[in-house]
Structure 1
Amino acid sequence: MQISVKCLYLSVLLCVGHHVTYAEEDKNIVIRERKERYEFVKGDNRNPVLVKQNFSTTYRCDEFRGSIPYTEFYDVNSTVGEVKVYVNGERVKSIKPEHRYHSIDGFFFSDARVCGFMLPLEKKGTESRVELEKTILDPRYFTSVYFNEDFFMEGKEVTLIVPRWMHLEIKELNFDGAGIIKNVTFDEKNQADVYTYTMKNMPAAAHESYAPGPSYVYPHLLVCSHSADGNEGKITYFGSVKDLYAWYSSLVKEIGNEKELVKAKALDITKDAKDNLAKIKAVYTWMQENIRYIAFEDGIAGFRPAKAQEVLEKKYGDCKGMANLTKEMLVALGIDARLCWIGTRHIAYDYSTPTLSVDNHMICAVILDGKQYFLDATETYIGFDQYAERIQGRQVLIENGEQFSLSNIPKRTYDQNKQIEKRTLRIEGNNLVGVAGHQITGESTESILSAAHSIKKENMKEALQQYLTEDNRLYGISNLTTSDLHDWSTDLTMNYDVLHKDAVNSFGDDIYVDLEFRKEFDDSDIDTTKRKNDFWLNYKRQVVQETTLAIPAGFKVKSLPPALSIDNTKYTFKAAYVQKADQIVYRKEITIKDTHIRRIEFSKWNDDIKQLKQAYLEQITLTKK
């Protein structure tokens, strides 16, 4: 799951350049030249400081003709001005940008808008250029300038013009080895510092799954606007985390929640709860089950949470709206609940840097009997006091009236996310027959229930059956029983009968049996020839599978596969077969202790995965006595 809505300011608002969708490793299109100019200027009483932006990008076609979609995101805090398109040096006025609201699944629930059009590149060797003007109406929203683009770039120049009346800090991050040249001059006429950054032959940004967020990887400027000397006096932006919280708090005060409506629903949800802890769990579970989480992975949205009653009525919301409704229902029940701002692990910063780029998510904190709990209802199937990998250990900003506090989400080990499967099988002809049981916790529960819910079946048990069989028509499941599928604060348990057809092969006096069915992580090789970034696994976990096979009468063990034992600081892969009297016990254990696999560790990871896959191919051999 996903990043939340406020959520968008990081990936798109913060990367203030253009956005082009392209094929991975596209060698046909290059950026010959890109120029970006950012200038702080004084505005009017409503918007006393503006950030004027001018972009000029020249694309070249090196192999064959084509076209690329060019888009620019903006919202109520920014405007897109004139857009000029040149093809082969001639301005093409017939190419007119389309302006539309950004939506997901047909929901237009934010102020995000897109300006876009198709840019033609007519033949090999030709160039097309786009010039675009954009204005950010409040310097709070101008937070980052990233240097990499979506195509290989032969040359780029970034210029920031900062008048002395504008007080800010520019942090240069991930510059090592990027070849960026910085030059600072002073414009005496305009009393402005001019920062110019130039670079050549910069590779395209790698769009890779399971990768660290761009703030960890790519060279960029983090712009922290502290204050400005305006026409009417000093204007304070974000000089400290206190200023950041004060601004967030001011937005919360403007929400306009209808408390009585929310209280009525909260009382109904908790009518059977005997104490405050039970009430908290009831509200949290109801939010997870009944409010659909909708958020943009990349885009722009506002920072003010939606009204609690609106989220309640619509049955969907972004992280801010869901956090607000959760808090309001708990407060209505007399429970100390507070809004929280947090940056997921996607973000490299913490609150030592006062900027809107420090967080991208909102949750709710509860203080009960002196203990602090965090509720993130966007995590649909995770239990109370369990925390997703993406927020574990992250610094969190907690509201407290005019004050605030800083804390950290508790860290969890792989023990939170266990997936234990035990099977007892016997051989009947060419089939394996028996029973199986599962015990699943934490993010493993969320992963399984999310996958099952994505399967279009009339009821959940049918979906779970399809999930458990992994679409293998030879692996039959019947008589499935489960724990309460609406209560994921307790372990998820599933028990059923197994009929695995054609799992046994006979040749002469020998029988060959494969007891490995699920083969977790067998497709987890990392392509080191293409992969550019570190690899982040979804979450820490432990997968244990234990299968007991009865040795059929008249047979004995001829050979058992060799044991596998790989114990790394970040993961463990183990598999072993042991004969116990007239049974064979196969036990497999996969433990992910650290989700961050660095590039220098790829070779070792691939070697270990290779050994794991080889272990999966091994079979038991039985022979007649």
Structure 2
Amino acid sequence: MFMPGLPRYLCVLSTVLVCFTVKLAAQSNSDKNITITSQQESFHFETGNKETPVVIRQSSATTYKCNLFRTTVPVVEFYDDKSTIEDVRAYVNGSRNKAIKPVFQNYAVDGIFYSDARICGLELPLEKKGTESVVELDKTTLDPRYFTTIYLPGSYDISRHEVQLIVPRWMKLEIKEMNFAGYNIQKTVEYNGKRDEDIYTYTASDLAGRASEKMAPGPSYVYPHLLILCKYADLKSGRINYFNTTADLYAWYRSLVLQIGNDETILKAKATEITKGLNSDTAKINAIFYWVQDNIRYIAFEDGIAGFKPQKAQQVLQYKYGDCKGMANLTSGLLKSLGYDARLCWIGTDHIAYDYSTPSLSVDNHMICALNYKGKRYFLDATETYIGLDQYAQRIQGRQVLIEDGDKFILDKVPTRNPDQNSSFEKRNLRIDGTALTGKVQQQWDGESREFLLSQVHGTRKEKLQDALVQYLADGNPGYKITAVKTSDLATWDKQLDIQYELQHQESVTGFGDDLYTELDFRKELAGLVIDTSKRTQDMLFRYKHHIVSETSLELPTGYKAGSLPEDLKIERLGYSFNISYKLSNGKINYHKELTIRNPWLAKASFTQWNEDIRALENAYRQQITLTKK
């Protein structure tokens, strides 16, 4: 299964023909109605013409089998301005069905078309149990730079998948075999002396369909695939250099940057407008960064396979939307127009297993901006809408970054941050009022915790913002009545988000005889996160590191004393910790909870221990405190 550039997303299409992709979108391998009995693909490097001196001819034949009941298979193939699809043929029950014609159309994101990304789609019928249908495809990749990865598993179980690479000796490439351990994959290499070419054949048997699991690592970490590094071609007309080294990769990126054509006059005028009345450099830098975050809508144009050239900054300003490249270019351009040392950067998020030691378009899937200021380097990712300067999303922390430096380049790494960056703090001072807990609450969020909350509430219309915020704070519980809400500025995210309110938690206290019973934890974070080890096939990734602190102080009612307090909980693991404690002091019961996820990557080997710890946490949450009349 050929996926040029390892697509930067798992997409779900909604068109008249297809509701999901077969080629690119991971689907559950629990659907056993459809299997692929045979998939044969060949990729032949050939000489082309002056404009496209080297091309890769792809031919494939995929046989789908119906195992249970009649259905159709949506078949989709992506292409772009660096590839063409010459022919698609459908065979049903052994005969070609010319009435089944593929539809070619632009790929759209929220109704906005991206000219580089196009789809070819058809629906292939499987008429009854036991029948087979075949799709044959002829496709040409017009530039070896875009020929990067071939994945062996697909959306359905595959009995046999054969991939053949036919490489003339004038074409220099490296084939890296990734994640082959544990799979039945055979390799042969033959030399065709008549044509002076090597033939690499990989045959994989009994491949399970790629699983669709939430919070999972990117496919390049998990599934067996071939990473194709096209280095150079020695043709009669001379050598054509592709990506022999990282310097070659950067030089190609740099050539695209030089073609952008930013309008410096427009950028300077806009930057001056944004920073009007501001005197300090820090204030101006923050204003530029936050303006792009807040005013430019992110549209994932980089998901188009050929989308490596940033859009003109003035176009992003005009349209008020852009992809990561366009937003990085705009951020950099605005800062440079004010005299700051801002540079474009290429980076692969943690969705990708490679770094720049592998010169390939599959190495990165993102662009950001680097700012060198007073001896320190800051990385600005304007696609992270509500994150502050010098705060970094987990997806780019610790990742290698390629920074423009004229004709040269700089390799650096985005700093890592500890869980405190994403702190979430709640303090409740409560008393018992009949069957309710009442009192005052203060909550604070920072980093990605703040970003998550603001993303939720700002997703509603402005006139309903307060209602959305209250609903979020109440966690959907109608008995959690919140009033007198005071917030810090919801449009500013360079400081902690602070919210204070008055609370009446109805029907949260019960009585029996001389005793009162209540719980002091309302949110119970991580409860229910027991992993089904009989179904889960992959490691689990949290979106970011977490640091959750909750403190509740309950005033003892007059005439009551505290019964025995619940036992404390203390769990310390390498990647996480759970701590809960109760203390009685000065007529109050003080409840303290601290949950920390230090390593967001939870390996399968840790699932059993994790499940035991989550069950212990859930048990701690269920413990009630007892108040008894004196």
Question: Normalization by structure 1: what TM-score?
Answer: 0.96
Q: Does 1:600 align with 2:617?
A: no
Counterpart-to-counterpart distance in 1, 2:382 and 2:542: 22
Q: Is the 8 A contact 1:435 1:497 kept in 2?
A: yes
Q: Is the 8 A contact 1:6 1:319 kept in 2?
A: no
- Provide closer, same or farther for how the CA distance between residues 118 and 403 of structure 1 changes in structure 2, counting only shifts above 3 A: same
State the match for 2:520 in structure 1. 515
Counterpart-to-counterpart distance in 2, 1:466 and 1:110: 41
Alignment of 1:576-595 (within 5 A): 576-595=581-600
State the match for 1:289 in structure 2. 294
Q: Does 1:535 align with 2:546?
A: no
Counterpart-to-counterpart distance in 1, 2:345 and 2:181: 34
- 559-568 or 415-424, larger mean C-alpha shift: 559-568
Structure 1 position 18, deviation (Å): 3.3
- 329-338 or 19-28, larger mean C-alpha shift: 19-28
State the match for 1:280 in structure 2. 285
Alignment of 1:116-135 (within 5 A): 116-135=121-140
Q: Is the 8 A contact 1:555 1:622 kept in 2?
A: yes
Q: Is the 8 A contact 1:293 1:317 kept in 2?
A: yes
- Provide closer, same or farther for how the CA distance between residues 19 and 91 of structure 1 changes in structure 2, counting only shifts above 3 A: farther
Counterpart-to-counterpart distance in 2, 1:622 and 1:586: 15
State the match for 1:232 in structure 2. 237
Q: Does 1:142 align with 2:147?
A: yes
Q: Does 1:210 align with 2:203?
A: no
Structure 1 position 398, deviation (Å): 0.2
- 523-532 or 20-29, larger mean C-alpha shift: 20-29
Instruction: In structure 2, give the amino acid aligned to 1:277.
Output: T
Counterpart-to-counterpart distance in 2, 1:547 and 1:493: 17
After superposition, give the CA deviation of every residue in 1:287-331 in whole Å (9 maximum; x if it has no partner): 111111111696534110011011111111100000000000000
- 339-348 or 506-515, larger mean C-alpha shift: 506-515
Counterpart-to-counterpart distance in 2, 1:415 and 1:374: 19
State the match for 2:202 in structure 1. 197
State the match for 1:561 in structure 2. 566
Is the partner of 1:610 in helix, strand or coil? helix
Q: Which has the higher contact order (CA 8 A, sep 6+)?
A: 1
Counterpart-to-counterpart distance in 1, 2:264 and 2:576: 48
State the match for 1:188 in structure 2. 193
State the match for 1:478 in structure 2. 483
State the match for 1:609 in structure 2. 614
Counterpart-to-counterpart distance in 2, 1:553 and 1:30: 70
State the match for 2:341 in structure 1. 336
State the match for 2:443 in structure 1. 438
Counterpart-to-counterpart distance in 1, 2:430 and 2:540: 37
After superposition, give the CA deviation of every residue in 1:22-67 in whole Å (9 maximum; x if it has no partner): 5551011111000010010000000000011011000111111111
Structure 1 position 7, deviation (Å): 8.6
State the match for 1:100 in structure 2. 105
After superposition, give the CA deviation of every residue in 1:213-240 in whole Å (9 maximum; x if it has no partner): 1111111111111110124211010011
Instruction: In structure 2, give the amino acid aligned to 1:345.
Output: D
Instruction: In structure 2, give the amino acid aligned to 1:68.
Output: V
Alignment of 1:96-495 (within 5 A): 96-295=101-300, 300-456=305-461, 458-495=463-500
After superposition, give the CA deviation of every residue in 1:310-357 in whole Å (9 maximum; x if it has no partner): 111111110000000000000000000000000001111110010000
Structure 1 position 105, deviation (Å): 1.2
State the match for 2:550 in structure 1. 545
Structure 1 position 524, deviation (Å): 1.4
State the match for 1:49 in structure 2. 54
Q: Is the 8 A contact 1:574 1:590 kept in 2?
A: yes
- Provide closer, same or farther for how the CA distance between residues 183 and 11 of structure 1 changes in structure 2, counting only shifts above 3 A: farther
Structure 1 position 456, deviation (Å): 4.8
After superposition, give the CA deviation of every residue in 1:350-381 in whole Å (9 maximum; x if it has no partner): 10010000100000000011110000000000
Counterpart-to-counterpart distance in 1, 2:6 and 2:182: 30
- 266-275 or 44-53, larger mean C-alpha shift: 266-275
State the match for 1:502 in structure 2. 507
Q: Is the 8 A contact 2:26 2:212 kept in 1?
A: no
Counterpart-to-counterpart distance in 1, 2:405 and 2:10: 29
- 450-459 or 543-552, larger mean C-alpha shift: 450-459
Instruction: In structure 2, give the amino acid aligned to 1:73.
Output: F
Instruction: In structure 1, give the amino acid aligned to 2:324.
Output: C
Q: Is the 8 A contact 1:21 1:69 kept in 2?
A: no
- Provide closer, same or farther for how the CA distance between residues 19 and 493 of structure 1 changes in structure 2, counting only shifts above 3 A: closer
State the match for 2:629 in structure 1. 624
After superposition, give the CA deviation of every residue in 1:127-162 in whole Å (9 maximum; x if it has no partner): 000000111000000000111111111111100000
Counterpart-to-counterpart distance in 2, 1:43 and 1:381: 48
Structure 1 position 81, deviation (Å): 1.3
Task: Name structure 1 gaps, 5 residues minimum.
Answer: none
Instruction: In structure 2, give the amino acid aligned to 1:166.
Output: M
- Provide closer, same or farther for how the CA distance between residues 48 and 6 of structure 1 changes in structure 2, counting only shifts above 3 A: closer
- Provide closer, same or farther for how the CA distance between residues 89 and 357 of structure 1 changes in structure 2, counting only shifts above 3 A: same
Instruction: In structure 2, give the amino acid aligned to 1:370.
Output: G
Task: Name structure 2 gaps, 5 residues minimum.
Answer: 12-20
Counterpart-to-counterpart distance in 2, 1:26 and 1:584: 53
Is the partner of 1:279 in helix, strand or coil? helix
Structure 1 position 110, deviation (Å): 4.4
Counterpart-to-counterpart distance in 1, 2:121 and 2:99: 14
Counterpart-to-counterpart distance in 1, 2:481 and 2:24: 48
After superposition, give the CA deviation of every residue in 1:396-419 in whole Å (9 maximum; x if it has no partner): 000011111100000111011100
- Provide closer, same or farther for how the CA distance between residues 20 and 257 of structure 1 changes in structure 2, counting only shifts above 3 A: closer
Q: Is the 8 A contact 2:28 2:210 kept in 1?
A: no
Instruction: In structure 1, give the amino acid aligned to 2:144.
Output: P
Is the partner of 1:606 in helix, strand or coil? helix
State the match for 1:18 in structure 2. 23
Q: Is the 8 A contact 1:504 1:511 kept in 2?
A: yes
Structure 1 position 202, deviation (Å): 1.1
Instruction: In structure 2, give the amino acid aligned to 1:63.
Output: L
Counterpart-to-counterpart distance in 2, 1:509 and 1:219: 65
Is the partner of 1:518 in helix, strand or coil? coil
Is the partner of 1:103 in helix, strand or coil? strand
- Provide closer, same or farther for how the CA distance between residues 11 and 362 of structure 1 changes in structure 2, counting only shifts above 3 A: same
Instruction: In structure 1, give the amino acid aligned to 2:49.
Output: D
Structure 1 position 616, deviation (Å): 1.2
Computed over aligned residues only, the root mean square deviation of the Cα atoms, in angstroms, reads 1.7
Counterpart-to-counterpart distance in 1, 2:306 and 2:255: 17
Q: Is the 8 A contact 1:431 1:504 kept in 2?
A: yes
Structure 1 position 176, deviation (Å): 1.1
Aligned residues: 618
State the match for 2:14 in structure 1. none
